[in-house]
Amino acid sequence: MADNIHSSAAVTNVIRDELIAGLCAPTASTSPKYLYDALGSKLFEAICELPEYYPTRTEAAIFERHGDDIAASVGAGATLIDLGAGNCAKAARLFPLLAPSQYVPIDISADFLHAAVTQLGRQFPDIAMLPLGMDFSATLDLPPAVSRTRRLFFYPGSSIGNFPPDEALAFLRRMREADGDLLIGVDLVKDHAVLDAAYDDALGVTASFNLNLLNHLNRLLGADFNLREWRHRGFFNPQQSRIEMHLEARRDTLVRWQGGERRFGEGERIHTENSYKYTPDGFAGLLRRAGYQPAHVWTDERDWFMVCHARRS
Ligand code: AVJ
């Protein structure tokens, strides 16, 4: 018990130190994971329903339209390892098609996961369920209870886009080392106006999602960010092939937190998220370098998004 208390205090300090280092850097930045407090997760769900935010519904349409093909490529009886499973809804929709033998949803938020899995277990009694509460971006060291037969990592939603390409490669290699094939959703480069609108919507939900990060920082650090002094920026950077989200100071402002402070000049920014967009060839190259052969690729009719099944090479 004492050990647990000690280690959770240490984690809190690590989070504090990481956040403060990011805020004090010449170009301030924070990790996108801090966008997802309880309200942030709800705002992200709202983003997925926006007319401008195409990725979620485009990916769903690909699974809907090509489900039989995808199932034929993957085959029944896999060990389906769902990275960032959340409420498990995306994977559950594939159960009737993929008929996995074991389902292993992984998410940082373990409580949420256990509730979802209890429900699912009643619906699909033939699928063994093993929910794991862990930070899969830190390690893919899976416990021995995870079956070794025909592991398939399921990584939908273009979450891979949050990693810069070198880190995406390292992450893909870790899945390869864990002896898994891959079913992954990847957002594609497209008309810049479409990309800009998806991350700066007319209703301002993405702006709220981004600004809410400051509420979260205020709680985590005991900081005094005033949300009214900041504005959302979300745009495509074609040189880096990524969406960038920033929070920009509307005027000179001093932000204080327990044990420190920083002045932000008018127009100065905190970089809060990157979301990389790939070409099909660019992503295939990444897969090959990670030890995968892209077996099958499915896209929508506008080629806005792709779902890829990759086997170990
Ligand atoms: C959850 C990382 C896939 O990059 O599109 C949506 C997050 N940020 N709108 C994305 C997000 C702003 C989303 N991912």
- pLDDT per position as a tens digit, 253-270: 999 999 999 999 999 999
Across 230-253, average pLDDT: 98
Which phi and psi angles does 257 have, rounded to 5°?
Answer: -145, 170
pLDDT band, residue 6 (cuts 50/70/90): very low
190 pLDDT higher than 50: yes
2 pLDDT higher than 60: no
Among 33, 36, 44, 58, name the best residue to mutate to test ligand 1's pocket (greatest count of ligand atoms within 8 A of Cβ). Answer: 44
Name the percent of the chain lying above pLDDT 90.
Answer: 87
CA 206 / ligand 1 centre spacing (Å) = 9
Residue 11: the pLDDT is: 60
CA 127 / ligand 1 centre spacing (Å) = 30
Q: Mean pLDDT lowest for which of 71-85, 113-127, 181-195?
A: 113-127
Q: Which atom of ligand 1 has the smallest separation from the CA of 210?
A: 12
Residue 294's nearest CA partner among 206, 149, 181 is 181
pLDDT band, residue 61 (cuts 50/70/90): very high
Reported as a single tens digit per residue, the pLDDT across 295-305 is 799 999 999 99
Say what angle helices 38-47 and 205-221 make with each other, to 10 degrees.
170
Residue 109: the pLDDT is: 78
CA 53 / ligand 1 centre spacing (Å) = 9
Residue 144's nearest CA partner among 132, 158, 157, 155 is 132
Among 275, 276, 278, 305, name the best residue to mutate to test ligand 1's pocket (greatest count of ligand atoms within 8 A of Cβ). Answer: 275
Say what angle helices 2-24 and 205-221 make with each other, to 10 degrees.
120
CA 233 / ligand 1 centre spacing (Å) = 14
Residues with CB under 6 A from ligand 1: 47, 55, 157-159, 161-162, 199, 206, 273, 275
Distance CA 229, CA 123 (A): 48
Residues ≥6 apart with Cβ < 8 Å to 163? 171, 276
1 pLDDT higher than 50: no
pLDDT band, residue 138 (cuts 50/70/90): confident
pLDDT band, residue 32 (cuts 50/70/90): very high
Residue 149: the pLDDT is: 95
Distance CA 58, CA 54 (A): 6
Residue having the nearest C-alpha atom to atom 12 of ligand 1: 199
CA atoms within 13 A on the CB side of 134: 17
Q: Which atom of ligand 1 has the smallest separation from the CA of 209?
A: 12
CA 247 / ligand 1 centre spacing (Å) = 15
Residue 108: the pLDDT is: 81
Structure tokens at 194: 């479409």
Among 34, 273, 305, name the best residue to mutate to test ligand 1's pocket (greatest count of ligand atoms within 8 A of Cβ). Answer: 273
Residue 153: the pLDDT is: 98
Reported as a single tens digit per residue, the pLDDT across 74-105 is 999 999 999 999 889 999 999 999 999 999 99
Across 269-280, average pLDDT: 98
3-state SS class at 101: coil
Residue 300's nearest CA partner among 92, 105, 60, 28 is 60
Asked if residue 229 lies in contact with residue 199, where contact means CB atoms within 8 angstroms, the answer is no
CA 55 / ligand 1 centre spacing (Å) = 9
Across 41-46, average pLDDT: 93
25 pLDDT higher than 50: yes
Distance CA 273, CA 52 (A): 18
Residue 7: the pLDDT is: 47
Residue 50: the pLDDT is: 98
How many other C-beta atoms lie within 10 A of the C-beta of residue 54? 20
Residue 10: the pLDDT is: 60
CA 171 / ligand 1 centre spacing (Å) = 18
CA 275 / ligand 1 centre spacing (Å) = 7
111 pLDDT higher than 90: no
Distance CA 231, CA 250 (A): 7
Asked if residue 247 lies in contact with residue 223, where contact means CB atoms within 8 angstroms, the answer is no
Residue 4: the pLDDT is: 40
Residues ≥6 apart with Cβ < 8 Å to 273? 32, 35, 162, 210, 243, 244, 245
Q: Please, what is the average pLDDT of the chain?
A: 94
Residue written as tokens 């490669």? 169
Residue 305: the pLDDT is: 98
